Amino acid sequence: SYVLTQPPSVSVAPGKTARITCGGNNIGSKSVHWYQQKPGQAPVLVIYYDSDRPSGIPERFSGSNSGNTATLTISRVEAGDEADYYCQVWDSSRGVFGGGTKLTVL
């Protein structure tokens, strides 16, 4: 089965740029979607089809996907961005999630 690998944690100072990676075999050939989950809440879609943003998601959130790595980039990080982030793809007619990355704002 297809495996998505994320770093367990990423730390960043306020105002800086956070990059969260999602690794998978030839993931560049797939569409990657990203979700933000704050404690006690359901996940929220923040990036879909690699780099598109749903309405209401700040422009500070962006995405890219190439080769074996997809990346979620959060610019000008704010305290409110502290959350768990999950990548997701569709493989063999099933959804697959990465293991999640905890973003800590220092």
Partner 1 sequence: QVTLKESGPVLVKPTETLTLTCTVSGFSLSNARMGVSWIRQPPGKALEWLAHIFSNDEKSYSTSLKSRLTISKDTSKSQVVLTMTNMDPVDTATYYCARILDTAMVDYWGQGTLVTVSS
Neighbouring C-alpha atoms within 13 Å toward the C-beta of 11: 1
By the rule CB under 8 A, 48 interacts with partner 1 = yes
Binder to partner 1 among 10, 98, 103, 105 (CB under 8 A)?
98
Candidates 18-26, 57-65, 69-77, 82-90; binding stretch for partner 1 (CB under 8 A): 82-90
Q: Say which DSSP state 99 is in.
A: -
Residues 27-46 that bind partner 1 (CB under 8 A): 31, 33, 35, 37, 42-45
Q: Output the smallest distance, CB 24 to partner 1, in A.
A: 15
CB 34 within 8 A of CB 86: yes
CB 58 within 8 A of CB 81: no
Q: Say which DSSP state 25 is in.
A: T
Q: Output the smallest distance, CB 86 to partner 1, in A.
A: 6
